[in-house]
Amino acid sequence: MTQSSLYIGLMSGTSLDGIDIALIEFDDHHLIKLIAADCFPMPFELREQLLAICTSKQTTLQQLGETDAQLGHIYANTVNTLLEKHQIDRQTIGAIGCHGQTIYHSPSGKYPFTMQIGDANIIAAKTGITTIADFRRKDMAFGGQGAPLVPAFHQELFASPTKNIVVLNIGGISNFTILFPNQMVTGYDTGPGNLLLDSWTQQHLHKPYDQDAMWAKSGKVNQELLKHLLDEKYFHQPAPKSTGRELFNLSWLNRKLMPFKLSPQDIQATLVDFTVISVTHELEKLSFDQSLPCELLVCGGGAKNPLIMQRFKEQLPDWTVASTTERGVDVDYVEAMAFAWLAYQRLHNLPGNIPAVTGASKSVSLGVIYPAG
């Protein structure tokens, strides 16, 4: 077994906007340091292809196989580019942890499954580095949701014996980790993050996202629409639970909009509040020691949306609301770092899931190992 202290994580999320890569180092005390990181845009044609597969839920075996291989090459190129840029010897890397691209997540069907693509054989072959992928299905095999998987890493980085901490990741979907002293670590997907905001912006402004929430700021929140959006049954389901583009997508939004005649910017403003309120409603359900300070640490793309952050501060006056960057961990790379950490856990046969989070019957080491040679 390798004794390397360097691990790479690759993450491309629900938003499909790019591939995040993080190189982390474990010191002698198992503390984690981010050594290098970058984001590589998803090639436009591939992004459109993936969106078509995810939204239509229709593809061919040939298209699925070719997309799987194409992603493998792109992930490998991302790793090689980072190593060359920072002049890092690939022989010093213990493993690559690649999340892959989720194209379907169905944890509650007759035969629960999740599907991430991006051929790890290709990544291992092209980089010469042992690659670990397929992190979610072992958890599901033991009865879990297969998501979210980052809470164990959040616990490693952010837990405090003197604060009630919630770590909120706002990617395409929002999920949070509840780190309260003397309580079991829990967490789950709270609902949409940037997914609907970005899709609505793309449809109306032909831009990938609403820069600095300027468009949303020009609109006005419609409380009736907000109430209608929050009436989705997912929000009334007990945890553990997870969700994705399979539920929250433009088709879902357009159905919800049918009784309303609103301007696109008012809808965008309402979608910002939808992301925020769907989280704060979940926070209101939590029990904790109220004598301790409460802190909401936000990461992911949503942490860079000034209107989302402002609304959280307004909705949570008794909480300290901050980005993880303000606590020393770049908001853009927390998830990529998590999959580097999960690769370390797998190589050392250590658990990567938290059963109280995913609903799995036991803690297990997650991921399939693809040796380099």
Binding-site sequence positions for ATP: 13-20
**DSSP per residue, 223-283:** HHHHHHHTT-GGGGSPSS----TTTSSHHHHHHHHTT----HHHHHHHHHHHHHHHHHHHH
Helix (H, G, I), strand (E, B) or coil at 336: helix
Binding residues, as ranges, are 13-20
Our CA dihedral for 281, 283, 288, 294, rounded to 10 degrees, sits at -130
Distance CA 184, CA 181 (A): 8
Contact 4, 340 (CB under 8 A): no
Contact 264, 135 (CB under 8 A): no
According to DSSP H, which parts of the chain are helical?
44-56, 61-85, 120-127, 136-141, 151-158, 195-205, 214-217, 223-229, 250-257, 264-284, 306-315, 334-347, 355-358
β-strand 294-299 against 131-133: which pairing, if any? unpaired
Q: Which two tokens stand for residue 151?
A: 């809470």
Helix (H, G, I), strand (E, B) or coil at 341: helix
Sign of CA dihedral 37, 126, 129, 169: positive
Q: Which two tokens stand for residue 193?
A: 């993050």
| Residue (of 337, 338, 266, 278) closest to 302 by Cα position | 278
Distance CA 223, CA 25 (A): 47
Contact 292, 271 (CB under 8 A): no
Contact 201, 218 (CB under 8 A): no
